[in-house]
Amino acid sequence: MSESIIQLEIGNPMEIYGPGDKFLNEIKLLFPKLKIIARGEMVKLIGEQKEIDDFEKRFNLLLLHFDRFGKINEDIVMQIMGENEQNGHLSSKGGDVLVYGRHGKLIKALTINQKKMVEMSAKNDLLFAIGPAGTGKTYTAVALAVRALKNKEIKKIILTRPAIEAGESLGFLPGDLKEKMDPYLQPLYDALRDMLPTQKFLSYLEDDTIEIAPLAFMRGRTLSNAYAILDEAQNASQSQLKMFLTRMGKSSKFIVTGDVTQIDLPKPKHSGLLQSEQILKDIKGISFVYLDGRDVVRHKLVTKIINAYNDQT
């Protein structure tokens, strides 16, 4: 057995322990193999050295978060202290954080394949992320784009989707282009609102630093110094997907995301995403990452639903 003492250098330890020691008690439940004794500004740990090292690494991240944002909540405690390597989830490392979102939310790769998306995006200028609903492929892609923008690696983010339900023309829907497209692009808006302050997000939309547009509007353009994401790519035809990919300009990164089990095209076999791997697999600089039920970060039932449907195919 080993022992270790962590000295809290903050004004009020209750900010870390939570009201009525609520956060502390949750942390104790997450580390059942450790004896954790908290007295004032001192936290004493008794247990195996490996467990102590793991606890200290995560707890220091929690303290770092508090130091940066001046507060923590139950979600942050669970997010930092509660992750593990079982079921494909990763341990907390400072390098995993992609973006510090609104209200201090840590936005990072949560699963093995999301982590692979981050790694492959760093090594390749074009990444395909393919997997079922709820696996975080779009969210992770948007986080990578926002990080690149904040780090001034690119000057613009372009997010696009094929508006298959409206036949790409969108003409019969009421309102201007933004109002016509909003229902199809809502998941992208939701992700961006998580990662950017409201006023900053609106100003980026206003000056076209962030552009959200239907896939048909990409034709004829060259996208340089940009991070471009094509979402729901399973609903793009081969010619549409080729058109998007050939928009790539200098100093640009492209990510294509899609779910080949939810193709809405009249002839599903004509999905450009289905054909892309066979056509592009041998090109250096292009990577494919496949996500599955182990990567689902929604309600636990989503994994079971995906597996049940997969069993029928």
CATH number at residue 40: 3.30.1370.10
* Residues 179 and 277 reside in one and the same domain: yes
Is 305 contained in some domain?
A: yes
Residue 99, in any domain of the structure: no
Do 285 and 237 lie in a common domain?
Answer: yes
**Residues 41 and 156 occupy one common structural domain:** no
Residues 246 and 202 in one domain: yes
Residues 218, 123 share a domain: yes
In a domain, 215, yes or no: yes
What does the DSSP assignment read for the chain? -EEEEEE--SS-THHHH-GGGHHHHHHHHH-TTSEEEEETTEEEEEE-HHHHHHHHHHHHHHHHHHHHHS---HHHHHHHHS--SGGGBPPP-GGGEEEE-GGG-EEE--BHHHHHHHHHHHH-SEEEEE--TTSSHHHHHHHHHHHHHHTTS-SEEEEEE--GGGTTT-TTSSS-HHHHHHHHHHHHHHHHHHHS-HHHHHHHHHTTSEEEEEGGGGTT--B-SEEEEE-SGGGSBHHHHHHHHTTB-TT-EEEEEE-TT---SSSGGGBHHHHHHHHHTT-TTEEEEE--GGG--S-HHHHHHHHHHHHH-
Residue 93 domain flag: no
Which parts of the chain have pLDDT scores under 50? 84-95, 166-169
Same domain, 125 and 33: no
For residue 254, being part of any structural domain is answered with yes
For residue 254, what pLDDT is reported?
Answer: 97
Query: Do 223 and 307 fall within a single domain?
Result: yes
What is the span of the domain harbouring residue 32?
2-82
Summarised one tens digit per residue, pLDDT across range 237-257 is: 999 999 999 999 999 999 999
Q: Are residues 61 and 192 in the same domain?
A: no
pTM of the entire structure?
Answer: 0.66
My answer on whether 66 and 122 are in the same domain is no
- Do 117 and 62 fall within a single domain? no
Q: Number of structural domains, the chain?
A: 2
